[in-house]
Structure 1
Amino acid sequence: MLFLFNDVVFELGDVSSLLRDGSIPLPVSQFETLTPAHLTELLREAVYVDPNMAHTKFERTRYFCALISYRAPGANAILAVRPQGAEGPDDVGLRFANVPITTLAYLWRQQNHDVLTVDEINHEVWFRVTENLHSAH
């Protein structure tokens, strides 16, 4: 499974297997009870601390992607932005989307060839799926 987090496409493989392989720093019983609202809160906190976490904390971000896709079926892309001057996690903006797999595969290919840009992601994803976007509450 592919998942777009800001400007990085993650290959998650089988999400259920990834979450249960023992490498996620959370017991299975705990992520099974995570609500999308609680996951959103955790994600806002993580992005507030490190807005560039997809690059600096690759594995941690990959687990967030897996948890999002597991607990919020249909979501396979997220835009998480900490605005300049943010005073806390509540200021972090989140957008979720369900992006066609063909688009994610294209972006994955571009990323693997080191030619993926933020402009291309915005054009292929965020400008095209506005009707499918919703803000996290």
Structure 2
Amino acid sequence: MLFLFNDVVFDLGDLNGVLRSGQIPLTLEQIETLTAAQLNGLVREAIFADPNIARTKPDHVRHLVALISFVAPGANALLAVRPEGAEVPAKVGLRYANVMLTTLASLWKDQQLGYLTPGQINDQVWLAA
């Protein structure tokens, strides 16, 4: 399973395996009852603390992506931006999308080859969504 988080494509593999790995600091009961609003709060806090978290803490983001995929199964892309001067996590902007698998696979391939650019992601995902 592929998921685009800002400018990084993550391959989750088996979603249930990631959720049940014991590496997410939530119990299975907490995961199963997690609401979209709570999840958005977690993502906002993570981006507020580190706007480049997809690159600095990819394992952490992989777990966030797994939670997003579980709570909002139609979403496979997220653009999360902390505006300049934001003083609280609530100011972090979130935009979800459902991107065609062929597009994500193409982005994944380009990322693996070292050719993926933010402009390419913007053109293929966010301008098309």
Name the TM tier (shorter chain): over 0.9
Moved over 6 A (4+): none
| Displacement after TM superposition at 1:89 (Å) | 0.5
C-alpha distance in 2, partners of 1:25/1:110?
Answer: 32
AA at the equivalent of 1:26: L
State the SS of the aligned residue for 1:116: coil
| Displacement after TM superposition at 1:29 (Å) | 1.3
What RMSD in Å do the two structures reach over aligned CA positions?
0.7
Name the structure 1 match of 2:9: 9
C-alpha distance in 2, partners of 1:22/1:86?
Answer: 33
C-alpha distance in 1, partners of 2:87/2:16?
Answer: 35
Name the structure 2 match of 1:135: none
The percent identity for this pair of structures is: 59
Matches within 5 A, 1:1-137: 1-129=1-129
Q: TM-score, normalised by structure 1?
A: 0.92
AA at the equivalent of 2:34: L
Deviations 1:5-24 (A, max 9, x none): 00000000111121012222
Structure 1: 5+ residue stretches without partners: 130-137
| Displacement after TM superposition at 1:51 (Å) | 0.5
Moved more, 10-19 or 116-125: 10-19
